[in-house]
Amino acid sequence: MCLAIPARVIEISGEDQARIDIVGVQKDISTALIDNVAVGDYLIVHVGHAIGRIDPDEAEKTLAYLAQMSEEDARALAAASM
């Protein structure tokens, strides 16, 4: 029920309204719950409303952490097989 998907804004299509694109599917959604929406933002869309915005820098930090963890795991695996 609380599922929501990140979708890219391609147009501000009205007051409190934006057009989003999800792998080619376009839809107008309400942005009444978010301030200062801009084209190119990734919004978190739930039941036709944007409820949040993806922070690209924070997303990068998570991915960088996961990559580092994976390297540490590879080293641990190598050490265990020696």
Partner 1 sequence: MKYIDEFRDGKLARALARTIAREVRPGKSYRLMEFCGGHTHAISRYGLEDLLPEQVRMIHGPGCPVCVLPIGRTDSAIELALKPGVTLCTYADTLRVPASDRLSLFKAKAQGADVRMVYSSSDALRIAQEEPGREIVFFAIGFETTTPPTAVVIKQAAALGLTNFSVFCNHVLTPPAMVHLMELSAAGGVDSVEIDGFVGPSHVSTIIGSRPYEDFADHYRKPVVIAGFEPLDVMQSILMLVRQINDGRHEVENQFIRAVTRDGNQKAQRLTDEVFELRANFDWRGLGEVPDSALKIRDEYALFDAERRFGIEYRKVPDPKACECAAILRGQKHPSDCKVFGNACTPDQPIGSCMVSSEGACAAYFTYGRFRSIKRT
Q: What is the binding site for partner 1 (CB under 8 A)? A: 1-6, 8, 22-23, 30, 32-35, 42, 44, 46-49, 51-56, 58-59, 61-63, 65-67, 69-70, 72-74, 76-77
Q: What is the DSSP letter of 81?
A: H
Strand 17-22, strand 25-30: pairing:
antiparallel
Picking from 60, 35, 39, the residue whose alpha carbon sits closest to that of residue 7 is: 39
* Closest separation in Å from C-beta 70 to partner 1: 4
CA 78, chain centre distance (Å):
34
Of 11 and 33, nearer to partner 1 (C-beta) is 33
* Closest separation in Å from C-beta 8 to partner 1: 7
